Structure 1
C-alpha cells in the first residue's frame, strides 16, 4: 500500500492559480486553502493577508492547530498536471525520434527498447527514473503504457504507489504480425490472461484505486487481431476497467488499418465494432478523424488525449483541437514519450498553443488558435475528465483532493542580479509584471526548476532545495 504516514491539517497560504472553466483562469493573490488529514480541500478563502492566518483558523473550527505553509515572493500554487498518454517503457528513447515515419520508428526504436524490459532490473531502473522525472515536472496523475511483460508492468504500479503518483497502469496487448516475433503476445489467450494478471495485481495492492488503477491497453488496431480486440474489450467490460489505445495518429497508419480491417468504415469503426469505445476509453492523438468519426466518439463518451509535441516530432499532423472542443469532445494533454520529446505537460501546454497557431496559419482562421487559459485547462481539468477523476482533482475546489504544485519564479534586483540565475530557474521577474504576466512567463519560459514542491492527496511527493516547508508523508 501507499505510504501510511499521517497527514496534518495544513493551510496553504499565498497566491493560487487554477482554471475555473475552459476560458477562465482564476488568479487569487491572497489565498488560503485548508487541506484536511485525508488530503481533501476543506475551505478556500480569498483576499487573506499573510498576517490574517489566525483569523482564518478562527473562522474554521478545528483548524487552530493546523500547520501553515506560506508561499511568499514570486510564486503560486497550481493544480498538478495530468498526463493522459505516455509510454513509461520508452523513457530512455526520449528525443530519439530520428528521421523515420511512425511505423518505421516503432521497429527501429520502440520495440527493441520495450522488449528489454523483460528484465526486471532494467524495468526498475527505467520506471523509477521516469516516475521521478514526471513528478519533478508537476505531473500528479499519469496514464502509463508499460510493456507486454507482467512482472515489469506490476513493478511500474508498485513504484507509482510507493511514490504516491496517481497512475493508470496498462500492460500492452499486441499479438499481430506487425510486432516482431521477439516482442508480441503468443496468442489471444496469452494477451487476455496476462492482462488479467496485471489487473488483479494492481487491484490487490490498491483495492480502492486511490492511487493506482489498471487500464486495459490494446496498443493500437494494427497491433491486434480482430479476435484479440474483441477479447480485450470483453475483459475490460468484465473487470470494469479503463481502456487506452491510439487512433488516427498518422496517415500511413490509417491506410494500414484500412488494409487490415477492410470491412470497417473507418479507424474509429474498428474500435466501435469491437466495443472498445466506452466512457472510460482514452484515445491518443486523433489527428485525422473525420467528422463522422468524431461524432461516434462523442456519442460513446470516449475521451481524447492530445499529444502536440509528439504529433509534430513524428510529423503526424496538427490535431484540430478547436473543432473537437466546439463539438463537445473531452480532451486532455499527453506527453507521449518517446514520440514526444519532453516529459513535461507544461511543455505540451506550449506545444498545444503552437500547433493551434500553425493550423491558423494554414487555414487563415484565427478561431483555430488556443489561448493560454484553454491550454492550461486541458492540462488540468480537461485531463482529469479524460482519466475519470474530474470529481477529485484538476482545480482548487472544496471537496477536491490537494494535488498541487508550488511554483517559484526568480526575481531580478536593481543591479540586474537574478536569484533565478543562482537557483538555475529560467523565469526572471522584474517587479513591474502583473500576476497574469507572471503566469504567462511561467507558461512560456518555465520548466521543472520552477516546480519546487508537489503534493498528491495532501502528501508531499517531490521537493527541491528551494522548498522550506514541512516534509510530511513521503520519504524522498
Structure 2
C-alpha cells in the first residue's frame, strides 16, 4: 500500500543524532501526496482520533511483529560491479581494478548486457532496504543514462554518475574517455538527461559528477569537472585516499593529499562525497568540515583494499559529515545492515588493536569505538546529511522513505522469543535483519517493495 496521501500506524525507530535512539511507539504518521511526513501523533494525542477518522481507509497499520525504520542510505556503490560481488578479493586494489574490474565495466558498452544487470541490482537493493543509492556507473554515457532510467522506473531514490577516467597512462585503451573534453561533455549530457527526464519530475533521481579517482584522471578532466560542478551545483563523488597506493600516487603527483588536490580542482563542496578517505590528515578533516563535504565510510571493503581502518570517531569529532557505503563490489555484501554491523566491528578493532604481541595499552587507538546506534544513525540520517537531502529520519518535513521489518518471518534471521523491551528489539532488528525480514519498502511514501 502507498502511504503518500495517507497514513501509517506502528512503532518506528530512528536515530536523530549519534548515540541517540528514539522509539516512536505506536505512532500515527501522516504523509502528504508528495511523500513528505506532515505530522506524527503518539498514542493519547488529542488530535489522533480526528486524523484517523479523516484518513479512513487510507490508514495502514503495521501488522503485529512488524517495526518501522527509516530507509537505508548507501553512499558508495559501483553499479556495474554487481556481477563480480564476492570475487577476486585476494588481490591488491590496483591489480583488482586492472585484471577484473575494468574488463567487466567495459562490457557495459553493450546496453542489453547493462540493462539486465542494472535491473537486477536496483531491485535487489530495494529488497534489502536501500531506499537511496549513490551510484558510480561506467565510462559509457548511454549505459549511465540507462541506469538512471531504471532507477526512475523502479522508484529508488538515486544519484547516478558517469565515471570519468581519461588518463591513458592509467586506464585501459578499450575503457577510457577519448579526451578530457569528451569526458566533461558526456558528463554534462548525463546531467541534462536526468534533470530533464519526463518521468523524474519529483527529482527522485539526481545527477552526480564522478571522477573515478585522481589516479585515473588528467588534470584537464579534473579542472573541467570542477568548473562543471560550480556551474550546475550538482553533487560530486570520487574516491579519496583509499589505500597506501592511491594515497601515495597523489602525494607523488602533486605534493599534496587527495583532499587538498580535489579542493584545488573545485571538487570539494557541500555536495561532495568522498569514498573511503582512510588516510585523511587532521588538516584534511578540517578542510572537509569547512567545505561541508562528506565521507562515505566503507568498513567492509576497507578490510580488503584500504590497508587500514578509517578513524571514524575521530572524523566525527572533527565535524566531518560521514555516512556509510557498501562499496559493491569491493565490499562483498550488498546489505546496508551488514555495513552497519561491520562499521561497529571495525571501530572496535581500531580501538582495541589487532596485534596480540603488543601490550594492551599500545595495541589500539583509544576512544575509537562507536556503538550500534551511531552506526545506524550514519546509515540513515547521516547519509541524508551527507547528501543534503531530507531523508533518514521519521520526522515532519522528511521524506517518507521507510522499511517495515517483519520479526516473525520464518525464513528471516530475527528471533525475539517474546522480547518486549524496545531497545532490545532494535538491536535484534539491526543485527538480525536479512532480506526475508524486509516486508515493505517505501520511497516518498510509494510502495517500492520488489
Aligned match for 1:39, one of 19, 28, 35: 35
In the TM superposition, residue 365 of structure 1 has moved relative to its aligned partner by: 5.0
Alignment of 1:266-345 (within 5 A): 266-345=257-336
Aligned match for 1:147, one of 138, 154, 163: 138
The SS at the match of 1:20 is strand
Alignment of 1:361-380 (within 5 A): 361-362=352-353, 363-364=363-364, 367-380=367-380
Which sections of structure 2, spanning at least 5 residues, go unmatched? Answer: 354-362
In the TM superposition, residue 11 of structure 1 has moved relative to its aligned partner by: 2.0
1:256 correspondence with 2:254: no
In the TM superposition, residue 170 of structure 1 has moved relative to its aligned partner by: 0.1
Give distance in 2, aligned partners of 1:70 and 1:207: 30
Aligned match for 2:449, one of 462, 466, 469: 462
1:202 correspondence with 2:202: no
Alignment of 1:33-112 (within 5 A): 33-47=29-43, 56-59=48-51, 63-112=54-103
In the TM superposition, residue 293 of structure 1 has moved relative to its aligned partner by: 1.3
The residue aligned with 1:471 is none
In the TM superposition, residue 367 of structure 1 has moved relative to its aligned partner by: 2.3
Aligned match for 1:425, one of 412, 424, 428: 412
CA contact (8 A) 1:118 1:152 kept: yes
CA contact (8 A) 1:7 1:38 kept: no
Q: If the length of structure 1 is used for normalisation, what is the TM-score?
A: 0.88
1:239 correspondence with 2:235: no
1:157 correspondence with 2:144: no
Give distance in 1, aligned partners of 2:200 and 2:32: 22
The residue aligned with 1:189 is 181
Give distance in 2, aligned partners of 1:365 and 1:8: 47
Per-residue CA distance 1:247-277 (angstroms, 9 max, x = gap): 0110111112223x23x32222211211111
CA contact (8 A) 2:4 2:444 kept: no
Give distance in 1, aligned partners of 2:77 and 2:2: 31
In the TM superposition, residue 364 of structure 1 has moved relative to its aligned partner by: 4.2
CA contact (8 A) 2:14 2:22 kept: yes
CA contact (8 A) 1:360 1:368 kept: yes
CA contact (8 A) 2:419 2:425 kept: no
RMSD after superposition? 1.9
Per-residue CA distance 1:221-263 (angstroms, 9 max, x = gap): 000011111011111212221110000110111112223x23x
Give distance in 1, aligned partners of 2:26 and 2:265: 52
Per-residue CA distance 1:17-54 (angstroms, 9 max, x = gap): 11122121111332211112221212111235xxx9x9
In structure 2, relative to structure 1, the CA distance for the partners of 1:243 and 1:315 (3 Å cut) is: closer
In the TM superposition, residue 56 of structure 1 has moved relative to its aligned partner by: 2.3
Give distance in 2, aligned partners of 1:315 and 1:20: 30
In structure 2, relative to structure 1, the CA distance for the partners of 1:315 and 1:237 (3 Å cut) is: closer
In the TM superposition, residue 132 of structure 1 has moved relative to its aligned partner by: 0.5
Give distance in 1, aligned partners of 2:88 and 2:352: 26
CA contact (8 A) 2:195 2:203 kept: no
The SS at the match of 1:92 is helix
Q: If the length of structure 2 is used for normalisation, what is the TM-score?
A: 0.93
In structure 2, relative to structure 1, the CA distance for the partners of 1:209 and 1:275 (3 Å cut) is: farther
In structure 2, relative to structure 1, the CA distance for the partners of 1:447 and 1:313 (3 Å cut) is: farther
The residue aligned with 2:432 is 445
Which sections of structure 1, spanning at least 5 residues, go unmatched? Answer: 411-419, 464-476
The residue aligned with 1:382 is 382
Give distance in 2, aligned partners of 1:461 and 1:126: 19
In the TM superposition, residue 445 of structure 1 has moved relative to its aligned partner by: 2.0
In structure 2, relative to structure 1, the CA distance for the partners of 1:445 and 1:367 (3 Å cut) is: same
CA contact (8 A) 2:4 2:446 kept: no
1:220 correspondence with 2:213: yes
Give distance in 2, aligned partners of 1:242 and 1:66: 40
After alignment, is 217-226 or 206-215 more displaced?
A: 206-215
CA contact (8 A) 1:15 1:31 kept: yes
Give distance in 2, aligned partners of 1:21 and 1:312: 26
The SS at the match of 2:300 is helix
After alignment, is 24-33 or 378-387 more displaced?
A: 24-33
In structure 2, relative to structure 1, the CA distance for the partners of 1:366 and 1:44 (3 Å cut) is: farther
Per-residue CA distance 1:360-419 (angstroms, 9 max, x = gap): 112545521111110010011100011120xx2111111211110001112xxxxxxxxx
In structure 2, relative to structure 1, the CA distance for the partners of 1:209 and 1:287 (3 Å cut) is: farther
The SS at the match of 2:75 is strand
In structure 2, relative to structure 1, the CA distance for the partners of 1:208 and 1:68 (3 Å cut) is: closer
1:403 correspondence with 2:396: no
Give distance in 1, aligned partners of 2:96 and 2:385: 31
The SS at the match of 1:18 is strand
In structure 2, relative to structure 1, the CA distance for the partners of 1:228 and 1:446 (3 Å cut) is: same
